[in-house]
């Protein structure tokens, strides 16, 4: 097949996250299996084992991307539209087989990044695209939580399929390298919904009891304000490469994650792959990748989060038990399995369209 992916960003973007990782790994897997892939997305872009077309900046791409896509669309068997808030409305200009990918619904996120009039417009376009423009499209989600959110918008569940994010399991060095002092790790973009400010507030309660360090890895618009708080025991490490991230995951006693929601907690599964359990909130997306009491701990509120942080820091045996279970959980989420699941849906979409034309 020749597959065209359309998404907001390439992995080269400083704002790249789980959605970009998902597209890249699925696209690479398709290429490795003999398919041809073109990825049209907003810049900046990097070199990949598939063709990447820069569709412009974060806003103009929604005007330019359809025109750039149409240069290749005649030879395409399948269009995969990744909706990360703003749709490309592909059914309005592409009549062939398509799949839609939704990591999470952005209804509550629009006001966090835009003024209320713009947020209402953005949510209206997202809702209209999902509910009406794509009313006949098969929608791929990455978690049961996103499936539930889409169903609440009136999207028929029989049109929704789940293809989770995979994880690269850390086979070497995943045991016996924990830091000797209490070391807690937070990974992710420094944006409002990740609630790093809540982590800092909680750390000020926790540190007098546990001691140790809180390491925060990631960049984002909230970074300067968070660092300006100068909370003792906190180290902001900024962006780190994969090798350094793995090293930090092996050292961490556990991950602390305060996000208000996720599509699928990629960083939590990365921790699991290094036998690092997670302490997080019981929110959509997170509850899909952390099994409460088995691979980590999910807190109902801020008070419980602080209590569990102190409790888990003081119980090495419990951390080890959770870490082992987390590792086994990570082994069940290979990229190979998820690539195959996606390609089955792709072949079904293309085959169904050919049968319909006959």
CA atoms within 13 A on the CB side of 235: 10
Tokens of 197: 């400010």
Structural domain boundaries in the chain: 2-166+334-357, 183-331
Chain centroid offset of residue 41 CA: 17
* Per-residue confidence (pLDDT) for residue 302, from 0 to 100: 97
Burial of 155 (0-12, 13-18, 19+ CB in 10 A): buried
* Per-residue confidence (pLDDT) for residue 15, from 0 to 100: 87
CB 75 within 8 A of CB 35: no
CATH class of 183-331: alpha beta
Question: By C-alpha distance, which of 184, 176, 330, 196 is closest to 268?
Answer: 330
Classify residue 27 by its DSSP letter. H
The fold of the 2-166+334-357 domain, in CATH, is Rossmann fold (3.40.50)
* Per-residue confidence (pLDDT) for residue 316, from 0 to 100: 97
Angstrom CA distances, 268 to 15, 31, 85, 195, stand at 18, 27, 23, 15
Domains 2-166+334-357 and 183-331 share a fold: yes
Could you tell me where the beta strands, DSSP code E, fall in the chain? 2-9, 36-42, 51-54, 78-83, 98-102, 138-141, 160-162, 183-187, 213-217, 234-238, 254-257, 278-281, 296-299
* Per-residue confidence (pLDDT) for residue 75, from 0 to 100: 85
Let me know how long the chain is: 358
One digit per residue, the tens of pLDDT, for the chain of length 358 reads 999 999 999 999 988 888 999 999 999 999 999 999 999 999 999 999 999 999 999 889 988 988 888 777 778 999 999 999 999 999 999 989 999 999 989 888 888 888 999 999 999 999 999 999 999 999 999 999 999 999 999 999 999 999 988 998 866 545 558 999 999 999 999 999 999 999 999 999 999 999 999 999 999 999 999 999 999 999 999 999 999 999 999 999 999 999 999 988 999 999 999 999 999 999 999 999 999 999 999 999 999 999 999 999 999 999 999 999 999 999 999 899 999 999 999 999 998 655 445 4
């Amino acid at each position: 097949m020749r597959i065209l992916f359309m998404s907001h960003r390439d992995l080269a973007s400083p704002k790249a996250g789980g959605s970009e990782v998902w597209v890249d790994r699925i696209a690479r897997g398709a290429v490795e299996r003999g398919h041809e892939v073109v990825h049209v997305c907003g810049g900046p872009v990097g070199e990949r084992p598939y063709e990447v077309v820069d569709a412009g900046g974060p806003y103009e791409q929604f005007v330019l991307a359809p025109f750039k896509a149409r240069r290749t669309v005649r030879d395409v068997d399948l269009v995969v539209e990744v909706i990360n808030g703003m749709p490309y409305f592909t059914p309005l200009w592409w009549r062939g087989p398509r799949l839609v990918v939704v990591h999470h619904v952005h209804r509550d996120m629009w006001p966090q990044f835009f003024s209320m009039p713009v947020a209402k417009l953005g949510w209206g376009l997202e809702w209209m695209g999902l509910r009406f423009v794509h009313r006949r499209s098969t929608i791929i989600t990455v978690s049961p939580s996103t499936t539930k959110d889409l169903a609440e918008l009136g999207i028929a569940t029989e049109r929704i399929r789940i293809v989770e994010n995979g994880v690269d399991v850390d086979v070497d060095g995943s045991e016996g390298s924990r830091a000797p002092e209490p070391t807690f790790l937070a990974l992710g973009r420094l944006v409002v919904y990740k609630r790093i400010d809540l982590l800092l507030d909680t750390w000020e309660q926790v540190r007098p009891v546990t001691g140790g360090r809180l390491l925060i890895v990631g960049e984002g618009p909230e970074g300067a304000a968070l660092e300006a708080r100068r909370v003792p025991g906190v180290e902001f490490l900024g962006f780190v490469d994969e090798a350094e991230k793995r090293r930090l995951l092996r050292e961490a006693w556990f991950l602390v994650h305060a996000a208000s929601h996720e599509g699928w907690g990629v960083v939590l599964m990365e921790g699991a792959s290094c036998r690092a359990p997670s302490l997080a909130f019981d929110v959509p997306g997170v509850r899909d990748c952390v099994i409460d009491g088995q691979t980590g701990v999910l807190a109902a509120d801020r008070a419980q989060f602080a209590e569990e942080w102190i409790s888990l820091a003081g119980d090495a045996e419990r951390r080890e038990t959770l870490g082992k279970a987390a590792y086994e959980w990570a082994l069940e989420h290979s990229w190979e399995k998820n690539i195959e699941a996606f390609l089955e849906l792709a072949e079904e979409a293309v085959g169904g369209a050919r049968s319909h034309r006959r």
